[in-house]
Structure 1
């Protein structure tokens, strides 16, 4: 296995509750009240729809409000990875990723593990630079048990709801998350910040038409059948966990640019020139006139290090 490269679940397509549209020469995110399932192919007109999108849209009268899914893993943290992320909005590269206790941060001295006080208490997160960011991988259909569709979100409501549901369902099912018949469902709510306008978030529930008891019975049956066939779910979870820990940051350059385009509309992503040398990932910097967020962080770090220590009150 290549060291330093995060091995993530294989992705067949994307799930979103919005899209990126072009307005006045700028590509801006536009929220929606329905799911959209796309392939991994993007053209000038946007992401190419996946065949499943048309199929589900016909079944639901034109708008996809729920998607039947299964999870790949029994561990909730493998299915849904949520963390605080600070991206360089010029290059699209992740600079700092933390969980509220510890973080991995790219510094002038390389990658470092540091305390993470969460965005509210971190000086680098001022101005909304650091956001909660989650990725949910789900399987749609039974054609590919290891292939998944990824739903990315920076929405607090989706992150909190998905985290809670996964933990509860894992406990109730006796650690059989990967065998449960589930669906992701779009829900709406109004808040003071939305000024009465509905905002939409993603929930994870037992598949429509099944009671909780029926879903658990199906999960038990599928779990026994898989065990009899030699399916080792525990080993699969362990392999996925090792793969994610193999790299410093989960998102690649290309994925980070997609994240910036969708969740940071004010950011202007600069293209990085291709080189044929052996320079490292962190040393390949695009040419630009203005300092990047990474440069400003480095300057801030150095200034804090250069400040003299506060005088002691001890005699």
Structure 2
């Protein structure tokens, strides 16, 4: 095994809840209210749809807001890897990755192991835009039992919800998480931070039409069949754990490009977060989120006075 290279689950496709659109010469993220399954191939700047995307759409009446999945591993933290991450905006290369206690940071002479104070307490992270970043690998369909779809997200709501669900399902199933029939579900909510407009996040639940008790029964039956066939889930988890630990950072050069496009997609990355979106000719300029928050702070300060 090559040292310094993280060995990650084989990926056959991507799961997204948005897409990249071009506006005024810039490639910008546009959120959606449904899932999209794509291949890992791009054509003319667009990710090609995976055949399962159409199949799942046909099975639903309307938008694709639920996907039947299984987990690869019994250990929740192997299925969902979440870190505080700071990426180089131009390339998507990880510059600092931490868990709130320790971090690995790229330095001039290599990689340093340092304390991690989380984004709010780290001056280095505040300067560069450190934020939560997670990757979830799931199995969809029966064509490839080791080939996963990856969902990448910087959504705190998705990360917190998925982490809680995975740990809860692992606990109640007696550590049979990889055998549970589950589904990814898109949920919406409104908050003060979103100015009461709908935002969407990803949740995990038992499949529609099934109860938790029925799912647990199916998990025990599948576990018994696998053991009878010689399937060693514990060994698979161990192999995955060793593979993730084999590299300083999980994302490869190809995945770094995907990170750059999905989370820092503007052709002028350093300015993307502070510039307002383009407006129609003659229309008033829309304030940025930073300007809205600054105005809100001024109003609150005035009210407090």
SS in 2 for 1:74: coil
Aligned length: 270
Determine the structure 2 residue equivalent to 1:95: 95
Identify the residue that residue 24 of structure 1 maps to in structure 2: 24
Superimposed CA distance per residue, residues 154-186 of structure 1 (whole angstroms, 9 cap, x where no aligned partner): 000000000000000000000000000000000
TM-score in terms of structure 1 length: 0.83
Instruction: Report the aligned-residue RMSD.
Output: 1.4
1:34 maps onto 2:37 in alignment: no
Corresponding position: 1:126 with 2:107: no
- Look up the match of 2:287: none
CA contact (8 A) 2:189 2:198 kept: yes
Sort the Cα spacing of 1:267 and 1:107 in 2 relative to 1 into closer, same or farther, 3 A.
Answer: farther
Moved more, 20-29 or 251-260: 251-260
What is the distance in 2 between the residues matched to 1:129 and 1:118? 11
Q: What residue ranges of structure 2 are gaps of 5+ in the alignment?
A: 271-305
Give the 3 Å change call, closer, same or farther, for CA 192–266 of structure 1 in structure 2: farther
The equivalences for 1:241-252 within 5 A come to: 241-252=241-252
SS in 2 for 1:126: helix
Aligned match of 2:182: 182
Do the aligned partners of 1:71 and 1:178 also contact (CA within 8 Å) in 2? yes
Q: Is residue 104–residue 114 contact of structure 2 (8 Å, CA) maintained in 1?
A: yes
In structure 1, the residue matched to 2:170 is: 170
* Structure 1 consecutive aligned stretches of length 4 or more whose deviation exceeds 3 Å: 265-270
Gaps of 5+ in 1: 271-315
Q: Shift in Å at residue 126 of structure 1? A: 1.3
Q: Is the 8 A contact 2:38 2:49 kept in 1?
A: yes
CA–CA separation in structure 2 for the residues paired with 1:257 and 1:130 = 18
Write out aligned runs for 1:27-106 (5 A): 27-106=27-106
Pairwise mapping of residues 176-215 of structure 1 onto structure 2 (< 5 A)? Answer: 176-215=176-215
**Could you say which residue in structure 2 is the equivalent of 1:136?**
136
List per-residue Cα deviations over 1:68-121 (Å, max 9, x = no partner). Answer: 000000000000000011111123211110000011111112111111000010
- Give 1:196 shift: 1.3
Q: Is the 8 A contact 1:260 1:267 kept in 2?
A: no
Q: TM-score, normalised by structure 2?
A: 0.86
Do 1:261 and 1:267's aligned partners in 2 also have CA atoms closer than 8 Å? Answer: no
Is the Cα–Cα contact under 8 Å of residues 80 and 163 in structure 1 kept in the other structure?
A: yes
Distance 1:268 1:249 in 2: 25
**Residue number in structure 2 paired with 1:227:** 227
